[in-house]
Chains A and B, each alone.
Chain A
């Protein structure tokens, strides 16, 4: 079974430029998460989708970050414009929410963003 796929794996941009990350979750998983992980820290949730609905975007900096999950499958996370402090690893995860509300989150390899 294919895992969570993310692209690109690495991205270097100058500040004020836009950037986009793409995620393809595990087939059949209805829930998709975007996390940001800074060096030496745990992942911090940015947004969670259940199918195509964003059910938790409270931690998403909405002035510059946007996300979409069209058709409830692939997802794109965008930053415009990027700032130096956005340098981090952006992780996508997916899970299948069962009847009991339990799930295991499977992570993709992440996109390492460097903003110069």
Chain B
């Protein structure tokens, strides 16, 4: 079993739709969680951190469920510019071991 697992997609959604991605992790000692965005042939860029209480940044909402060991990303009112690969990132404490998921591809269509 991979340490961090994501549905690779692709998710094909129309503009304005709401779409959600989940990511599961296997190490219960994981402490920090992030969503990164990666455009085609570009480097990953931090989209948002994921806090225990959940957090929202504009159209994006991230949530953490420690009991079930998954994090989620919700995108509301999808834009064409949201088309990208979304990478789930999990990090433990102490060793700062960082594990990236393989990513979920999103295509937003006009």
Contacts and interface: CB of A to CB of B under 8 A. Distances in A.
Nearest to B31: A101
Contacts of A102: 32
Given A42-B101, A45-B98, A91 B93 contact: no
B25 to A, nearest CB: 13
B58 interface: no
B59 interface: no
Contacts of A106: 46
B87 A42 contact: yes
A107 B44 contact: yes
Contacts, number: 46
| Interface residue range, chain A | 20 to 34
Nearest to A6: B43
Given A42-B87, A101-B93, A102-B32, A107 B45 contact: yes
A103 B97 CA distance: 12
Contacts of A72: none
Contact of B100 (A31, A40, A43, A103): A43
A109 B100 contact: no
A25 interface: no
A35 B99 CA distance: 11
Contacts of B94: 101
Interface of B: 4, 8, 32, 42-46, 49, 87, 93-103
